[in-house]
A and B are shown apart, each in its own frame.
Chain A
Amino acid sequence: MTSATTTTCPVAIRIQEDDFDIAREIAVLTKSRTDIGAVVSFSGICRADEDSSKIAALTLEHYPGMAEEEIKRHVDEAMSRWPLNGVTVIHRVGRFEPGQNIVLVVTASQHRRAAFEAAEFLMDYLKTSAPFWKKEESATGTGWVEAHARDDEAAARWTKS
């Protein structure tokens, strides 16, 4: 039996405080697979400035239970729209300083276009639909990050007409 005909699409969705290792996650997804021709990974990192203010740290809060279900719903939709051979989504919660990882999306497919598009689709929906909230710490105090209209616009372009 050859693995070249494998068409399974393993899905891993994790919400955790711990950091992730991008290379390790890709290796887990592609191990013993010969049907995967493209892997796209996107990682979101805490940056030091938002608009004009300097950020000391970000705290991520989520809705346990719903967050996993909401990500799963969109992974299922991504799998129905693109021929994917593997999806991993990891979202961290807790307090992060600039330079630290926050989110990882890895998509695998036979060809690059599906992997690229599915990763972008998942990130657009993660930002606007998965129940996570960011609180910023800066020199002037703390405050909740406001949602951006540009994120809603990015997600809206995937809506089927």
Chain B
Amino acid sequence: MKVKYFAWVRERVGKAEEFIEPPATVRTVEELIAWLSGRGEAYAYAFEKPKVIRTAIDHAHVKADAAIAGAREIAFFPPMTGG
């Protein structure tokens, strides 16, 4: 699946997007964040406060317990500050 990062999450991870293949045991957004955090210091830093991170699956906001099965694009970002 494609993963996108925005604002300071993007800066901390060090890239805007990538393709990932998490193991089948990773079923929810929460589990995906934990799995990503284990991929290296940059990820651990970006996701150090997982509750702050907002997630969208295929352009719609979702909660931490949302299933990731079938997702084409998952995005992680800080709380929005537009307007």
Contacts and interface: CB of A to CB of B under 8 A. Distances in A.
A62 interface: yes
Interface in B40-83: 56, 59-61, 75, 77-83
Interface string A119-132: 00001001111111
A149 B62 CA distance: 19
A13 to B, nearest CB: 13
**Dominant SS at the A interface?**
mixed
Contacts of B59: 63, 65-66, 69-70
Contacts, number: 71
A116 interface: no
A134 B6 contact: no
Nearest to B82: A132
Contact of A144 (B60, B61, B81, B82): B81
Contacts of A156: none
Q: How large is the interface on A (under 10, 10 to 19, 20 to 34, 35 or more residues)?
A: 20 to 34
Contacts of A130: 80, 82-83
Interface in B7-26: 7-8
Nearest to B8: A144
Contacts of B60: 66, 69
Nearest to B75: A63
A123 B83 CA distance: 7
Contacts of B4: 63
B83 A133 contact: no
